[in-house]
A = this chain, B = another copy of it.
Amino acid sequence: MRLSRYFLPVLKEDPKEAQIVSHRLMLRAGMIKQQAAGIYSWLPLGLKVLRRIEQIVHEEQQRAGHIPLLMPTLQSADLWRESGRYDDYGEEMLRIKDRHKRDLLYGPTNEEMVTDIFRSHVNSYKDLPLTLYHIQWKFRDEIRPRFGVMRGREFLMKDGYNFDLTKEDALHAYNRHLVSYLRTYERMGLQAIPMRADGGPIGGDYTHEFLVLAETGESEVFYDSQITDLTFGDRQIDYDDVEQCQAVLEEFTSRYARTDETHDQALFDQIPEDRRRSARGIEVGQIFYFGTKYSEPMGATVVGPDGSRVPVHMGSHGIGVSRLLGAIIEASHDDKGIIWPEGVTPFHVGIVNLKQGDVSTDSACEAIYAELKTRGLDPLYDDRDERAGAKFASMDLIGLPWRVTVGPRGLANNKVELTNRRTGESEEMSPQEAVDRLQQIYLPVLNAGAPAAAK
């Protein structure tokens, strides 16, 4: 993309309404615009990151064998009366009357609707296991929306639902989700720690929250420092392998890690003192097993192997897609702006032309731009007629991990500068070397989405 043709309204001043750094930086970098309390437009740069995150979530869900569908944003109140949650949910549910005075609501979650889809179409245990998920806009009418997309009212969430014949099968689905979430967050450059959590209004005994450590986190968390040494890495997982998934769950949840809601000081004190940590965390996902809580009242049953009807065992599993942008920025920024991890950056590299209008720098930039695109990369070329300082400041603010700087002095020796946003280190090399290096850097990112061996 050429910046002269893009819509990137960066702000020079810190917006007053933003209390936390991610909100401030998203506004300054021209990523979002508030349209009403807790309701945002995603400007082009913000949308690009949102789509990268969404894409990673889709790829990892489908790698785990989960099937995408899309439920609507509005739901009939009648479904929620069946489960008993229409009255329970309180003021956070946005209730709506249509022109015929029928009760609708803007879905805050989809257990009822997906259970309705299941009961309408699935009849036999032979169609199990089944996990359906969608990524759709939700609404929760927060009394005090704040912190930008971290606590918005209209927000994008991935929510998935497993249907299994037995509790044992459903717990495998639970484990499968835990494994896929570990992969998902790592691809976004995040360490998200699964912590034992509280069921809340969804219900359920088995539940883990995934938390990203950050000073501005809304939850207080307590953990054994050994847990932050764990990484999932690029290990191959067979998601059908019950033992393999169980082993990952045990590896990542056997050390103490809890939010304040489930914290147990006596247990915590058993950890050697030098490994005890308390910190703040941002919740970016949660998984639940809740058995027959919805299938029983709503009649979601299958004919089992013995010919009798049994309610299915279910769980639900969420990732806060829009909130992740805030969490990533909270975990990765400096005083100049955002520092995107390579997995989610809106553009892979910025090209800064130090002398726009100069025939040789223009043509060198054009060549680099075209060659990067040929290699499958997505560059942002700052082709505006602006001072170098302003161009650098914009690039630092929007946080692309790599920058190629092209000026007449370097070009005289066939050199451009490749700069790492995180370390600030620059290296001179030929344009060709810069393109090769960038391709090498992004190879793991571009290949990460490749499907596992045909299933």
Give the B-binding residues of A (Cβ under 8 A): 2, 5-7, 9, 30, 33, 35-37, 39-44, 47, 50, 65, 67-76, 79, 91-92, 94, 96, 98-99, 102, 104, 106, 113, 116-117, 120-122, 130, 132, 137, 139, 141, 143, 153-154, 366, 369-370, 373, 451, 454-455
Contact = CB atoms under 8 A, between A and B. Distances in A.
B96 A69 contact: no
A5 B141 CA distance: 37
23 contacts: A6-B67, A7-B130, A35-B72, A35-B79, A35-B116, A36-B76, A39-B72, A39-B76, A41-B72, A41-B113, A41-B117, A42-B71, A43-B69, A44-B132, A47-B69, A50-B70, A74-B106, A74-B153, A94-B96, A96-B106, A137-B137, A373-B451, A373-B454
Contacts of A373: 451, 454
B67 A7 contact: yes
A99 B92 CA distance: 8
Residues of A contacting B: mostly: mixed
Nearest to A79: B35
A47 B67 CA distance: 11
A104 B36 contact: yes
Contacts of A40: 72
A212 to B, nearest CB: 24
A68 B39 contact: no
A99 B68 contact: no
Contacts of A30: 121
Nearest to A143: B99
A269 to B, nearest CB: 42
A190 to B, nearest CB: 22
A99 B116 CA distance: 28
A154 B72 contact: yes
Contacts of A139: 74
Contact of A73 (B75, B141, B154): B154
A75 B153 CA distance: 12
Contacts of A70: 41-42, 47, 50
Nearest to A113: B35
Given A35-B113, A44-B68, A74-B153, 14 more contacts: A7-B67, A7-B69, A7-B132, A35-B71, A36-B75, A36-B76, A37-B102, A39-B76, A73-B73, A74-B139, A94-B96, A94-B98, A96-B106, A98-B141
Contacts of A42: 69-71
Given A7-B67, A113-B41, A454 B370 contact: yes
A76 B34 CA distance: 11
A82 to B, nearest CB: 13
A438 to B, nearest CB: 16
Contacts of A143: 99
Nearest to A45: B69
A204 to B, nearest CB: 23
A98 B96 CA distance: 9
Contacts of A6: 67
Contacts of A153: 74, 98
